[in-house]
Amino acid sequence: MLSTTELTEIQSLLSTPKKITIVCHRNPDGDAMGSSLGLLLFLKQLQHQVTFISPNEYPDFLAWLPNATQTVIFEREYDKALPLLQNSDYIFTLDFNALHRTGDAMQKVLETLSNPMIMIDHHQLPDSYAKYTFSDVNYGSTCQMVYDFINALGYNHLINKDVASCLYTGIVTDSGSFRFPKTTPQTHQCVADLIDKGINNSEIHNLLFDNSSYERLQLLGKALQNLRIVPQYKASYITLSQEELNAFNYKKGDTEGIVNYGLSIQGVIVTAIFIENKEEGIIKISFRSQGNFDVNEFARKYFNGGGHINAAGGKSFSSLEETVNQFITILAEEKERKEK
């Protein structure tokens, strides 16, 4: 948590109406959207003028979140987003640890700004751009951090049903429905309070996970057919080419969670999904692991990315096939290095 002095300063700055902007990382997920909208709906009750700016579009499966449709999309609404950022008294940056996580276009703008920033984030190795940094890798989600932040400021009574629904969303999605190792007694205590605030937890779960299109399930079928195991490295991987995505009428969010299937195979401790994005000229990669295999380090070192020990992402500028070959070669080299 922030220090008592920092909290007192933040309490004081929030005690009079301010212009506040909230930003999250590019390709926002449930935790980025949930924490940003939860914080926004909390701050609005304190009479601040608050806007949430996402670098790019959010997936359809999160569009039901309270206030989601008011989101300003930086890469589509630059003329609207720029003055909002420039005129902010404070900018909250949520669910990321370095400005480049907002993408090239938004990073350039954020780097030119001298407006004070407040970071709330649970990724490793936070950069030091913010005036106030609440960074803690022990949290499973930024949403749980926002919950603690609001409580530390003494505003638990302002966590209403809508704020709670947003925060619950990120806790559920980032914890894999309460199964990943950072799910703690505090997580369940937080969720117990959110349910007390009136959220419909079962309905939210349905909205998040039982809302697939038929085509999304067919795409999942294709992904599972493409799943390969590399037993000598206790690894597996999935590929999805642009052509395959197009064949199933791919929409943003459709590949969410597919990577986890690679880890559900007996004996596999590290897995990846490689998704071709012809428009951006990249292969977007998600990594997942169990135990000590550090995919944050792996993604940082070899694939222009990062994240957490057991869940990370990155990208490659090579072809799909070359990227997969690189992945296997690196696994071989890493194995050899560890055995030495």
Residues in contact with Mn ion by the rule CB under 5 A: 31, 95, 142, 174
Where helices occur in the chain by DSSP H, the ranges are 4-13, 30-44, 78-86, 104-112, 142-152, 161-174, 185-196, 201-209, 214-226, 242-247, 295-302, 320-339
Given a contact cutoff of 8 angstroms between Cβ atoms, the answer to whether 314 and 305 are in contact is yes
Across the strands, what pairs with 37? none
Q: Which of the choices ligand 5GP, Mn ion, none does residue 313 contact, using the CB cut-off of 5 to 8 A by kind?
A: ligand 5GP
Residue 308, Cα to own-chain centre: how many angstroms?
A: 11
Q: Which of the choices Mn ion, ligand 5GP, none does residue 305 contact, using the CB cut-off of 5 to 8 A by kind?
A: ligand 5GP
255 binds ligand 5GP (CB under 6 A): no
Residue whose C-beta lies closest to Mn ion: 31
Letter for the amino acid at 95? D
CA-closest candidate to residue 36, choices 25, 47, 49: 25
Among 159, 313, 323, 327, the residue binding ligand 5GP under the rule CB under 6 A is: 313
Provide the minimum distance between the beta carbon of 95 and Mn ion in the complex, in angstroms, as a whole number: 5
Q: CB nearer to Mn ion: give 29 or 254.
A: 29
Letter for the amino acid at 279? E
253 binds ligand 5GP (CB under 6 A): no
Residue 273 is encoded by which pair of tokens? 């999904």
Among 14, 24, 118, 312, the residue binding ligand 5GP under the rule CB under 6 A is: 312
Among 307, 309, 327, 331, the residue binding ligand 5GP under the rule CB under 6 A is: 307
34 binds ligand 5GP (CB under 6 A): no
Letter for the amino acid at 297? E
* Neighbour count for residue 110 (Cβ, 10 Å): 20
Angle of helix 161-174 versus helix 30-44 axis, rounded to 10: 160
Residue 148 is encoded by which pair of tokens? 């603690």
Q: CB nearer to Mn ion: give 276 or 294.
A: 294
Q: CB nearer to Mn ion: give 163 or 331.
A: 163
* Neighbour count for residue 203 (Cβ, 10 Å): 12
CA-closest candidate to residue 90, choices 141, 138, 39, 147: 39
Interaction with ligand 5GP in 273-292: which residues (CB under 6 A)?
A: 286
314 binds ligand 5GP (CB under 6 A): yes
Provide the minimum distance between the beta carbon of 8 and ligand 5GP in the complex, in angstroms, as a whole number: 31
Provide the minimum distance between the beta carbon of 161 and ligand 5GP in the complex, in angstroms, as a whole number: 27
- Running DSSP on this structure, what letter comes out for residue 158? G
Interaction with ligand 5GP in 84-123: which residues (CB under 6 A)?
A: 101
Q: Which of the choices ligand 5GP, Mn ion, none does residue 222 contact, using the CB cut-off of 5 to 8 A by kind?
A: none
Give the H/E segment covering residue 59.
none
Across the strands, what pairs with 132? 118
The residues of the shown chain that bind ligand 5GP, judged by CB under 6 A, are: 25, 101, 286, 305-308, 311-315
